[in-house]
Amino acid sequence: MAEQQAIPWALVVAATTAAVAVAALNASLRGVCRSPLEAVSLTARIAAAVAWTFVRYVARGFRPEFPKWTLRFELLRAAIRTVNELYGDRMVQDAQHARVIRAQSEAVGSILGWFYCRWYCKGMEPVNFNGLEHLWLRPKDPKKTEAKRLVVMYEHGGAFSLLSPRFYSFFCASLAASIERELGRRGSSAQVEIFLANYHKTPEFCFPTQPKEIIAAYKHLLDHEGLSPNQIILAGDSAGGGLVMSTLLRLRDDKPNRLPLAAIVCSPFVDMSESIDPASARSCILTRSIAKAARLVYHPTCSDRSTWAGASAVHCNLSGLPPVFIQAATLDYLYQDSVRLAEKAKADGVEDWELDVNEGVSHVFSLFPSWVLPYGQVGVEKMAAFAAKQFIKS
């Protein structure tokens, strides 16, 4: 009799556990999925993609697909690409989903940033203006007041729609520390700070809102922080790299005497034309669907070339800009954006830009922590070397 009564209770416990698991899964995937069924289906697809990736890894003799990859990165890439292929356009074009992803990225970034800032002895200081939270990363132990400040103003990526400055705090803490080391190696020093500038996202706001807000943030540094332009380096990745270029073009045309010392762009999104998918893009975390959606929501009239303006830097006159470091990856969906940007600069008579081509790595590879992709730190150190060189020359 006791055994007969135990069976229903076991079923109740199992059903309750399953319901809680599905609810938790649905909550964690709210930025992508519209129903619990979609969440379960997506989880199954991710699991299948990850499993197949591992099987192929074993079949290759426990070697990653590309020499600079690791198993951790390969599994993560499989998961990210699966999500982007299925729902990339939805994440970018649907404001409700985009807002959830932003909030999730802020939470994750706050946790990661706290650990990395402690490791690199940095402090996170939020500052609010223009209705947005921006973020300072400063040394916990500031140098003497006479030490010259070097500020990297960073514009984050995320298809103009996703992610938040806090999500980049761990990467920027590493970048600041690398610049400090590089300056020391070259016999110089500075108080290196990172200012993570925020901007209103698509699809709620479109071009030219974002570059205007980045210029406002730049002016904030000049007017309220007492910085001179030669103490500031603009930097950004992907969509943020595109915003860096738009900002430089606007400053050159309006106030050329306020152009920053230099700029760094990683896998920049700088071409509004829709190009043919490169064969190497199959190995990238970025997919056609998310790139196309990003282009449409950022610049709704992108089909009309006459409206591109500074949103498509590869089609602009690039003369008169400060030195720019372009970090490119051959497996990046946006690889040709970087190549064309460098070629256009050369055609416009620019001689102090650098194109850093990295073989066998994907979109924004430098942003991946070294415990996921060790080669990512190589990318960070290359950025740091450029920043230190420009600062010392100034």
CATH number (domain holding residue 136)? 3.40.50.1820
Distance CA 179, CA 369 (A): 17
Distance CA 54, CA 48 (A): 10
The residues carrying an active-site annotation are: 238
User: Over 90: is that where the pLDDT of 309 sits?
Assistant: no
Mean pLDDT of the chain: 91
pLDDT digits (tens, 9 = 90+) for 213-268: 999 999 999 999 999 999 999 999 999 999 999 999 999 999 999 999 999 999 99
The pLDDT-based confidence of 141 (bands split at 50, 70, 90) is confident
126 assigned to some structural domain = yes
The pLDDT-based confidence of 19 (bands split at 50, 70, 90) is very low
Print burial letters for 259-295: b (CB count within 10 Å at least 16), e (below 16): bbbbbbbbbbbbbbeeeeeeeebebbbbbbbbbbbbb
- The amino acid that residue 128 corresponds to is N
pLDDT of residue 335: 95
pLDDT of residue 173: 97
pLDDT of residue 248: 98
Nearest to 326 by CA among 259, 195, 238: 238
89 assigned to some structural domain = no
84 assigned to some structural domain = no
The answer to whether 210 and 168 have CB atoms below 8 angstroms apart is no
pLDDT of residue 11: 55
The pLDDT-based confidence of 36 (bands split at 50, 70, 90) is confident
pLDDT digits (tens, 9 = 90+) for 150-204: 999 999 999 999 999 999 999 999 999 999 999 999 999 999 999 999 999 999 9
330 assigned to some structural domain = yes
pLDDT of residue 276: 65
Q: Structural domain tally of the chain?
A: 1
The answer to whether 311 and 174 have CB atoms below 8 angstroms apart is no
Owning domain of residue 197:
98-393
3 assigned to some structural domain = no
Residues ≥6 apart with Cβ < 8 Å to 127? 133, 134, 135, 136
pTM: 0.92
In this structure, what are the phi and psi dihedrals at residue 299, rounded to the nearest 5 degrees? -130, 85
199 assigned to some structural domain = yes
Minimum mean pLDDT range among 102-111, 274-283, 297-306, 361-370: 274-283
48 assigned to some structural domain = no
32 assigned to some structural domain = no
